[in-house]
Amino acid sequence: MTRAITLLVFPGFQLADLAGPMTVFEIAGRFVPGAYALATREEGGGTVAASSGLAVVAAPLGDPACDPACDTIIVVGGEGTTTAMASPAVLAFVRAAAATARRTTSVCSGSFVLAAAGLLDGRRATTHWRRAAALARHFPKVTVEPDRIFVRDGAIWTSAGITAGIDLALALVADDLGPAVAAQVAKEMVVAWRRPGGQSQFSTLADLAVASDRVGRALAFARAHLAEDLPVERLAEAANLSPRQFARAFAAETGTTPAKAVARLRVEAARAALEAGGASVEQVAFASGFGDAERMRRAFLRLLGQPPQAIRRSARAEAA
């Protein structure tokens, strides 16, 4: 069975949003010959320049040379998204494709095109973290989940930016051909298999700009001892600094306080545990150092904008 994948581009698209998924499907075809047929389309067709200046050749939207029996449509993102989402022809094509395709997906700001076509109304979706607030503001009927690698809501899949398109495509391959094939593809591409859709677009340790080994050691110590009390004095001891020196150095390097950083680490760990399933909310709260479920709920609302139960429901819906 050959699945027709149509990738929709536009002038100023992000090259990685196209190349990442295309590479995943191409390599999957090496392991399962004939699994996919790829076609690139653009409103007028012809040579289409990416934001980098490199160009691809695309068929026009109505070109019969493209397989009309489209299994999956992927709308890429990039700087030209604004023009694409304002094109009646593009929106009509996306709506028509979504009506017949098995899956409709987007990478990065391609979600704006799906939203402009009305396909995300009443659905959960994500996009590049930098554009999430704008997506929520311009399309209030969409439930934007800004801190997700990708989101699956029925037949609609949306992903975060740039390399998240690879995660999305690997998940689509797993959905089609099984996780073993997707794992082979990931190994061939030398990328992680797998970052689940619910994984955060960020890591607290990576996100904090740590310049010194001492502050870095303190953060690593905190992550390894989240279930325990972590006052500034204990973190300072791990950094081999006085509490006053440590607090000053920590704020200077990270732009936040040790207490706020620890709270972020705990939310990050608790979210991963909730998405993995198994442990109860109360057990996760204790293991993450919150002490009780109510304290964890308040931290989730403050940092993620949703309670732990909503995170768990989303993970279960995505796995279903």
| Residues 22 and 117 grouped into a single domain | yes
| pLDDT tens profile 66-106 | 555 789 999 999 999 999 999 999 999 999 999 999 999 99
Read off the pLDDT band of 202 (50, 70, 90): low
Note if 70 is an active site residue: no
Q: Is residue 136 in a domain?
A: yes
> The whole model's pTM is what?
0.67
Return the CATH number at 87: 3.40.50.880
| pLDDT tens profile 234-260 | 999 999 999 999 999 998 888 889 999
| pLDDT tens profile 157-173 | 999 988 999 999 999 99
Q: Is residue 25 in a domain?
A: yes
Element (H, E) at 244: helix 243-254
Domain range for 272 is 204-319
Pairing between β-strand 156-159 and β-strand 150-153 as defined by DSSP bridges: antiparallel
Q: Is residue 313 in a domain?
A: yes
Q: Is residue 194 in a domain?
A: no
- Quote the CA–CA distance of 249 and 269 in Å, as a whole number: 25
| pLDDT tens profile 104-125 | 999 999 999 999 999 999 999 9
| Residues 27 and 125 grouped into a single domain | yes
Domain count, the chain: 2
Instruction: Quote the tokens at residue 269.
Output: 């760990």
Catalytic residue among 75, 94, 108, 186: 108
Q: Is residue 267 in a domain?
A: yes
Q: Is residue 199 in a domain?
A: no
| Residues 66 and 131 grouped into a single domain | yes
| Residues 173 and 36 grouped into a single domain | yes
| Residues 28 and 101 grouped into a single domain | yes
Instruction: Quote the tokens at residue 231.
Output: 């006052």
